[in-house]
Amino acid sequence: MNAPHQPDPRDRPARLTVGVVGAGRVGPALAAALQLAGHRPVAASGVSDASVRRAAVLLPDVPLVPPAQVLERADLVLLTVPDDALPSLVEGLAETGAVRPGQLIVHTSGRYGTKVLEPALRAGALPLALHPAMTFTGTPVDVQRLAGCSFGVTAPEELRLAAEALVIEMGGEPEWIAEESRPLYHAALALGANHLVTLVAESMDLLRDAGVEAPDRMLGPLLGAALDNALRSGDAALTGPVARGDAGTVAAHVAELRKHAPQTVAGYLAMARATADRALAHGLLKPELAEDLLGVLANGGGVAGEAEGGTR
């Protein structure tokens, strides 16, 4: 028996016209996801060559126009600009009369809640803060990655259902974040995701220097297992010389880093101190071993008992 015909979402009447102000990596992907849910992207703004290319791939046939014209054409406007540019953009759009009463104005900044949209609210707009907790590439794969992605959502009480519906239509899962908690929420994500990229890139550089031909292949299984263990078990997943209290090994690491990659020493020491603190607090690092380890870290990686001019 043939399976029942599933209607193509593009065959349904569009419920909202969608505009994107800031055709960076995020906006076109979200608009493309909304299009799959039956909404209709009608305009985007972007001036760089990269923005033009992204829009052409993710939003073909959608015209690139100035921001004011995006608002003129769209019922739902995605403001997907850098955090520092968002307040002045909102203020400028409101002052020029581009914002319409009843228009949904959505920003995707992790840092801000809906207070940053106050100028648009005064003009009669409906403000939403929908931040996808995802890293974006600016390619079609981003639309697929939205499936199951958590969104940090802040919205007025009367718009919570609308915010939830939009997130679900994009394939995401809404997580409600209080206005005053947005900066802490965003810092947590940056600490985990952005700094992870730096750590992995530095680790690959060091492995290349050590003669490893395929550092990505070596690190992939290791880091995948470490991430899975950390998400499942938290601090109980800590392993390695710091958690074991191997002060001599840590001192040897720092000595090698000083010779081959001195720019990584400060980061190594900072993460080692944080790891030691967490391992101690959770009973993984024995206090009798912690003393020598903490001495090494306090000495900038030098073996405890060493002075600048030599051993004592």
Distances (CA, A) of 69 to 64, 246, 249, 273: 9, 62, 61, 52
106-139 pLDDT, tens digit each: 999 999 999 999 999 999 999 999 999 999 999 9
Token duo for residue 136 = 């974006």
pLDDT at 12 > cutoff 60: no
Helices (H), the chain: 27-36, 49-58, 67-73, 86-95, 118-122, 141-145, 160-169, 182-189, 195-209, 215-233, 241-244, 247-260, 265-281, 287-298
pLDDT at 303 > cutoff 70: no
Residue 306: pLDDT band (50, 70, 90) is: very low
d(CA 285, CA 294) in angstroms, rounded, equals 11
d(CA 42, CA 19) in angstroms, rounded, equals 6
**Cβ neighbours for 65, distance < 8 A, ≥ 6 positions apart:** 43, 44, 45, 73
| Residue 269 C-beta-side C-alpha neighbours within 13 Å | 20
Give the pLDDT confidence score for residue 5 in this predicted structure: 45
pLDDT at 305 > cutoff 50: no
pLDDT at 257 > cutoff 90: yes
Give the pLDDT confidence score for residue 105 in this predicted structure: 98
197-248 pLDDT, tens digit each: 999 999 999 999 999 999 999 999 999 999 999 999 999 999 999 999 999 9
| Mean pLDDT, residues 84-100 | 97
H helix or E strand, kind and range, residue 17: strand 17-21
pLDDT at 20 > cutoff 60: yes
151-208 pLDDT, tens digit each: 999 999 999 999 999 999 999 999 999 999 999 999 999 999 999 999 999 999 999 9
d(CA 89, CA 78) in angstroms, rounded, equals 12
Q: Which residues pair with 154 in a beta bridge?
A: 129
Give the pLDDT confidence score for residue 25 in this predicted structure: 93
What is the reported pTM? 0.85
Please give the share of the chain, as a percent, with pLDDT higher than 90: 88
Three-state secondary structure of 249-270: HHHHHHHHHHHHCHHHHHHHHH
